[in-house]
Amino acid sequence: MTRTDGFRGVFALGGAVLPLYSFLARLPAALCPIGTLLLINERDGIGDAGAVAAALWLGQALGGPVIGRLADRRGHRGVLLAACWANAVVLLALVAAVLGGLPLGARMVLAVAAGLTVPQVGPLARARWARLAGADKKLLGSALSFDTTLDEVGFMVGPALAGILAVAVHPASGLLLAAALILVFGTLFALHPTAPGPATAMGVRTDVRLWSPGLGLLFAMAVLQGAAWSGANTGVNALAKSLGEGGAAGPVWAAMAVTSSVAGFVTVARPGAADLTVRLRRTIAAQAALTLPLPAVTGLWGATFAVAGIGLAVAPHLIALFGLVERAGPAERMGEAMTVVGSGLLLGEGLAALAAGPLAAAYGYRAAFAVSCAAAAGSAVLAVVAVARVRFGSPAPAVVVTKTAAPPSPSPAPRAS
């Protein structure tokens, strides 16, 4: 009997180019925050850089669920194409505003616009995997694990690439590359044959309730997770700037994604038998413990080893988190459910950046690291106290009075060759 889980099953499910397109189309999500921090930190300091990066994250947190809902209702192709082109244009405008010396307020408005138009490739790719896998939960687990690991690889390549380009070419290079990638590979991802069409054309209901206690808990944990990342990221940038090596922040931060990617690929190959709720509690507790050494860091090598240690728990934690999103969110609105929790990560990053940037400017990089430790500890407490008490199942459909029969359930999507 042919084994259908693991890497072979995932590539057979969506075809070889789907992971490639989705990886390169989501790479701007890793390039833009660090590229923004590097560009503005170099010109105006960590305070302004944190404020603009926070605006970018908050814009994406607000726009993500809207794009996810539109993609569920109207199909992926048109929504993604519009978002990709709008996002590229706004990123170019943001670069021009920074280089032209426009006031902080104008740059923050453009950063919000850049966030609002982010195409949400990662969450929508996970929604595609859920649709393609159908009832095969083992294969779905492998696909979601693999896709989450792609995010981690992106956050390894993105910061390192932004840092290298900032030093070797120009601090704005990361944002310019992001605009080019989203135009080319975002378009290819949008046009891939696996893209779902409009809900009405597929006979899919859109009147089911999105929120449930399980999805609400996962959203809250995502906010705290994002805050933990943002505090650590801001601290690394502030430390590098204080040592006169601002461009080193990207490679240092990439150390987390290296170890996280390795842990993610191991999880895909050997997922283990533990339930996702158990894995979620274990991995977030491990991450909180691994975050504790951050405030003791005194140099770039120490920061590199510290964030690399944290990375060992990141991908396994996110794999469990998004695996539970697939259980808690309704299948008819899976794109929106994935983007909602993804937006929780970004909301946490933005809120923490608003706090960590000024704190680092006033009290030094350790203040930003303290924000990271507090958020990771809060997420661990929430996981231990609440996860075992919540049922992660799809919410019941909303009651709708209609004179016509409900449309038939959609048949499983054909697998791409």
Task: Give residue 398's pLDDT.
Answer: 38
Which residues lie across from 208 on neighbouring strands? 397
Q: How far apart are CA 324 and CA 101, in angstroms?
A: 45
Task: Give residue 202's pLDDT.
Answer: 52
Task: Give residue 415's pLDDT.
Answer: 36
Given the structure tokens 């083992």, which residue do they identify? 138
Q: How far apart are CA 285 and CA 293, in angstroms?
A: 14
Could you say which architecture CATH assigns to the domain 13-389? Up-down Bundle (1.20)
Task: Give residue 137's pLDDT.
Answer: 74
The number of angstroms, rounded, from the C-alpha of 352 to the middle of its chain's C-alpha atoms is: 16
Helix, strand or coil for residue 346? helix
Largest pairwise CA distance in the chain:
70
Which residues lie across from 397 on neighbouring strands? 208
Task: Give residue 88's pLDDT.
Answer: 95
**Mean pLDDT of successive 10-residue segments in the chain (417 residues)?**
59 81 89 84 80 82 87 89 95 93 92 92 85 77 81 76 84 92 94 80 62 89 91 90 80 82 81 80 93 92 93 88 84 83 83 86 92 94 85 49 35 34
Task: Give residue 6's pLDDT.
Answer: 65
Task: Give residue 200's pLDDT.
Answer: 55
Closest CA to 232 of 119, 373, 336: 373
CB neighbour class for 100 (10 Å; exposed up to 12, middle 13-18, buried from 19):
exposed
What DSSP string runs through 89-158? HHHHHHHHHHHTT--HHHHHHHHHHHHHT---HHHHHHHHHHHHHTT-HHHHHHHHHHHHHHHHHHHHHH
Are the CB atoms for 368 and 234 separated by under 8 Å?
yes
The number of angstroms, rounded, from the C-alpha of 367 to the middle of its chain's C-alpha atoms is: 24
List C-alpha distances in Å: 254 to 63, 127, 308: 26, 27, 8
Are the CB atoms for 346 and 64 separated by under 8 Å?
yes
Task: Give residue 348's pLDDT.
Answer: 87
Domain boundaries defined on the chain: 13-389
What DSSP string runs through 171-191? TTHHHHHHHHHHHHHHHHHHH
Are the CB atoms for 329 and 207 separated by under 8 Å?
no
* pTM for this prediction: 0.76
Given the structure tokens 């706090």, which residue do they identify? 355
